[in-house]
Structure formats: structure tokens, C-alpha cells
């Protein structure tokens, strides 16, 4: 199987991750903020989901909770068949290392490690033997060539984000979470990153959840979830830029 070969097998119905009654409340009394309000959502394996919504709607909170970076006030998150709410701090960390991949908007890479070392970082942090063939494949796919031995500050912004995506894929995680991965890039460079992510979904049945403000970016996804005031208010399958813009318009009119 190579990246160039299109993925043809039937879509699977297994669930990579889900949240049930996910509620997150910040503060108490007068200053209390309900960032997530009983959200039920599931992410089937091999699906590319985009999450959109106005600022403060709870996108980041939802993503952090799903990714084991933050704990819910009530409700639960399950990654694969692991219930995060019962995990210790250490087990959560190990879960992030093996079952979850991350791409942030910026500062994705450790400046003292080379691009190649950054890619294999989650695996190198563990004792398990790496699937070298897989890593090689991911590294090839990044298309950095001889720049792999360079430190992040010698790479362009687009190259850095590609390395970050490769790092997220390296441990073959259950889910990859990306928080505005193209937010800091020009549209052309951003498109290349989104292509890269989309191919990972199509060819390797990688599950990806991406927060974005950009309807063009969201159009690369298989579906778009719309969040407002801590609730999922809309969902769009096989979106295009136009349908997304329409949905955004209608949700903001509501």
C-alpha cells in the first residue's frame, strides 16, 4: 500500500472516539461559564471531521476533553475502548502518546530536535519498538527530502506543519486532533497540508478531528459539526465551501 494508490475498501462503521453527555463548566457562582453543555458526539474510524463555530463556542474545550488534555465536569469520553474519565494522570499521558495525535496552530515542534526526530518523538518517548516501515512511509509522505535532518528553525512554516502532521500520524493513533493547523499559513501552503491530511484519512483510514474557522479548510472534511454555546447545533456531510458558508449564515441568524 502506498500513498499514491487510492483507497477503495468499503467505509468501516467502527467508532474511533466518542463523547457522551460531555459537560464542562468553568468557575462557579456568578462567573460560571458552561463551555460544553451535554454534548454527544462520535467519530467513526477513517472519517475526517471539521468542527466550526464562533469564538467562545467551546471548540477548543471539546477538542481538549476528547484528547485527554482536559477533564470533563460530567459525562465521559471514550477513545477506542478506553474510558478517559477513569484514567490516572500517567495513563492519560501514555494514552496521548500511543492513541492520539496532535497538530496545533503553531509551536508544534521541539526546536532542539531535527524534523525526523520530531516525527518519531511520541514513539521514541516510549519503550515499544517502532514500526519502522510505517515511519519511513510517513516520512516519505512528508516530502521533506534532505531537510529531514534540519532543525525546525531551518524549515518554512508549511514544512513545519507538514512535519507536525507526520508526527501526529507516526504512532498510528486512534484519532488525530488538529486545532486550526492551517491558521498561520497562506492559502496555498495550507491547501497542501489539508491534502496531506485528507490522504491520510483516505488511504490509511486515519480518523482526524480538526477545528477551523476557515470554510475552505473545512471543505476538505467528510463532515462538519457546528458548535454554538457549548452545543452541537448543526451537521453537514460531504461539505463544500458553499454549503458550509450557507450553514454558517443560517446558524448565525438563529
Partner 1 sequence: MWNITRRNLGANKIRLALTALAIVLGVGFITSANVLSDGLRASFGSLAAEIVQGTDLAVSRDDDVPLTQTELDTINNVEGVRIAIGEYNTDNVYPTRADGSAVLPEGPPVIANSWTLDDQLNPTTIETGRAPEGPGEWVVDMGSAEREGFVVGETYDIIVPTTEGLTSAELVGTFRFGENNQTNGATLLAFETNTAKELFDADNFGSVSIATDGSRSIPEVQEDIEASLADGYLVQDNGDLNAETTAEFNSFISVFAWVLRSFAIVALFVSIFIIANTFNIVMSQRVRELGLLRAVGATPKQVRRAVMGEALVVGLVASVIGLGVGVALAYGVEAFLNAIGADLPDFDKPLTLPTAAIGIGVGVVVTALSAWVPSRKAGRIPPVTAISGHDGLDTQVGKRSIVLGAVLAVAGAAFTGVSLFGGIDSTALLLGLLGAGAAILFVGITLLSPLVAAPISRTLGAPIAKVYNRPGVLAKENAARNPKRTATTAAALMIGLSLVSMAFVVGQTLKSDLNELLESTVQADYAAFPGVDGLVPTAVADDMDAAPELDHVVGVKYWSTEVVGSTPLAEGVESDVEVATVDFDRIDEAFDLNLLEGSYADIDDDSLAIRQASAEEMGVGLGDTVAMTLDDGSTADMTVAAIFKDASIFWGVLVTDARWNTVAEQENYDWVAVSAADGVSQADADAAIAAIGDKYPQIVSQSSTEYREEITSQVDNLLYILSGFLGLAILIAFIGIVNTMALSIFERTRELGLLRAVGMTRSQMHRMVRWEAAIVSGVGALLGAAVGIIFGALVVVATPEEILNNLSIPWVSLAVLVAVASLAGLVAGFMPARRAGKLDVLQAIAD
Residues that bind ligand ADP (CB under 6 A): 26-27, 33, 35, 53, 55-61
- 69: contact with partner 1 by CB under 8 A: yes
Residue 110, binding choice from partner 1, Mg ion, ligand ADP, none, Cβ under 5 to 8 Å by partner class = partner 1
- Nearer Cβ to ligand ADP (57/159): 57
Q: Is 70 in the site for partner 1 (CB under 8 A)?
A: yes
Minimum distance of partner 1 from residue 132's CB (angstroms): 16
Q: Are 166 and 140 in contact (CB under 8 A)?
A: no
| Smaller CB separation from ligand ADP, 60 or 202 | 60
Interface residue with partner 1 among 64, 150, 172, 213 (CB under 8 A) is 64
Angle between the N-to-C axes of helices 157-170 and 132-142, in degrees from 0 to 180, rounded to the nearest 10: 160
What does 104 interact with, of ligand ADP, Mg ion, partner 1, none (CB < 5 to 8 A by kind)? Answer: partner 1
What is the nearest approach in angstroms of partner 1 to the Cβ of residue 102?
5
Segments in 74-224 forming alpha helices (H): 89-99, 115-119, 121-124, 132-142, 157-170, 187-204, 215-218
Contact (Cβ atoms closer than 8 angstroms) between residue 201 and residue 174: no
Pick from 15, 25, 78, 113: which binds partner 1 (CB under 8 A)?
113
Using the Cα atoms of residue 75, residue 77, residue 82 and residue 85 in order, give the sign of their dihedral.
negative
* Residue whose C-alpha is closest to residue 245's, from 222, 230, 226: 226
Pairwise CA distance, residues 34 & 120, whole Å: 37
164 vs 211, which CB is nearer to Mg ion? 211
Contact between 132 and partner 1 per CB under 8 A = no
**How far is it, in rounded angstroms, from Cα 144 to Cα 151?**
12
Q: Minimum Å distance from CB 115 to partner 1?
A: 14
Amino acid at each position: 500500500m502506498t500513498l499514491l494508490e487510492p483507497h477503495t475498501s468499503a467505509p468501516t462503521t467502527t467508532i474511533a472516539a466518542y463523547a457522551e453527555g460531555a459537560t464542562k463548566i468553568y468557575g462557579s457562582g456568578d462567573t460560571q461559564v458552561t463551555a460544553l453543555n451535554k454534548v454527544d458526539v462520535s467519530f467513526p474510524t477513517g472519517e475526517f471531521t471539521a468542527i466550526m463555530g464562533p469564538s467562545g463556542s467551546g471548540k477548543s474545550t471539546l477538542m481538549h476533553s476528547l484528547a485527554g488534555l482536559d477533564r470533563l465536569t460530567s459525562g465521559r469520553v471514550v477513545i477506542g475502548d478506553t474510558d478517559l474519565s477513569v484514567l490516572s494522570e500517567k495513563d492519560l499521558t501514555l494514552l496521548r502518546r500511543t492513541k492520539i495525535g496532535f497538530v496545533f496552530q503553531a509551536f508544534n515542534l521541539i526546536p532542539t530536535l531535527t524534523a525526523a526526530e520530531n516525527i518519531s518523538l511520541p514513539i521514541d518517548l516510549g519503550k515499544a519498538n517502532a514500526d519502522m516501515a510505517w515511519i519511513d512511509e510517513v516520512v516519505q509522505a512528508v516530502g521533506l527530502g534532505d531537510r529531514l535532518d534540519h532543525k525546525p528553525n531551518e524549515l518554512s512554516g508549511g514544512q513545519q506543519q507538514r512535519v507536525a502532521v507526520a508526527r501526529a500520524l507516526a504512532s498510528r493513533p486512534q484519532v488525530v486532533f488538529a486545532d486550526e493547523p492551517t491558521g498561520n499559513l497562506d492559502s496555498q501552503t495550507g491547501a497542501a497540508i489539508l491534502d496531506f491530511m485528507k490522504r491520510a484519512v483516505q488511504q490509511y483510514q486515519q480518523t482526524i478531528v480538526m477545528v477551523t474557522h476557515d470554510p475552505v479548510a473545512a471543505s476538505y472534511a467528510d463532515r462538519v459539526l457546528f458548535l454554538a454555546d457549548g452545543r452541537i447545533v448543526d451537521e453537514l456531510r460531504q461539505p463544500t465551501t458553499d454549503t458550509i458558508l450557507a450553514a454558517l449564515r443560517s446558524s448565525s441568524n438563529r
